[in-house]
């Protein structure tokens, strides 16, 4: 045991950014997903939403159908659970003045990778990052909800828009 908190963002109150990755048509009104997988194990997004998403956190919405981030919302309600799903109410969506396409994310792969490698990550289960890297470069993680490091706003200043409101 290293004494580090369970997540890399746990000791930094400025880390309030999340990324919802989905092809939903109703982005921005809520975060919602299934509680568990077919095998009965909990979805990673369940624990994150239940234990880590806080009131007033900012959620960016990556639209898989559009292939980019073009809106954001603010967490406006508590975590709620039903039989097979969970939900968190959001205030939004609000359009970004300038969207961040997958192409732009991919082109910024090296600076993004440097930021992610510089995070104080102590063990595998504490990652929950929106991007992974392989021999072809940056790819989206196969997840519904991920923690977006605030330093990403250094590369994409438009993602800092909600922090100023």
For residue range 75-129, list pLDDT tens digits in order.
Answer: 999 999 888 888 999 999 999 999 999 999 999 999 999 999 998 886 654 588 9
How confident is the prediction for the chain on average, in pLDDT?
Answer: 89
Domain map of the chain by residue range? 17-164
DSSP 36: B
Chain centroid to CA 1: 27
Q: Is the peptide bond before 41 cis (omega within 30 degrees of 0)?
A: no
Rg of the chain in Å (alpha carbons): 15
Is the pLDDT reported for residue 45 higher than 60? yes
Short-list 71, 75, 73, CA closest to 100: 71
- Can you give the pLDDT at residue 126? 59
CA distance 90 to 32: 10
User: Given a cut of 80, is residue 41 above it in pLDDT?
Assistant: no
Q: Given pLDDT bands bounded at 50, 70 and 90, which one contains residue 18? A: very high
Question: 5 falls in which pLDDT band (50, 70, 90)?
Answer: low
Assign a CATH topology to domain 17-164.
ph1033 like fold (3.10.590)
């Amino acid at each position: 045991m290293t004494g580090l908190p369970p997540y890399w963002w746990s000791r930094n109150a400025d880390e309030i950014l999340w990324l919802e990755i989905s092809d939903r048509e109703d982005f921005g009104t809520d975060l919602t997903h299934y509680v568990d997988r077919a095998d009965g194990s909990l979805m990673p997004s369940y624990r994150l939403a239940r234990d880590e998403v806080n009131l007033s956190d900012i959620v960016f919405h990556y639209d898989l159908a559009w292939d980019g981030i073009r809106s954001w919302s603010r967490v406006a309600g508590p975590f709620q659970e039903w039989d097979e799903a969970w939900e968190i109410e959001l205030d939004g969506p609000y359009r970004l003045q300038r969207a961040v396409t997958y192409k732009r994310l991919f082109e910024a792969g090296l600076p993004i990778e440097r930021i992610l490698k510089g995070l104080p990550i102590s063990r595998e289960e504490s990652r929950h990052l929106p991007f992974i890297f392989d021999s072809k470069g940056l790819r989206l993680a196969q997840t519904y909800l991920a923690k977006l490091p605030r330093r990403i706003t250094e590369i994409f200043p438009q993602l800092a828009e909600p922090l100023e409101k």
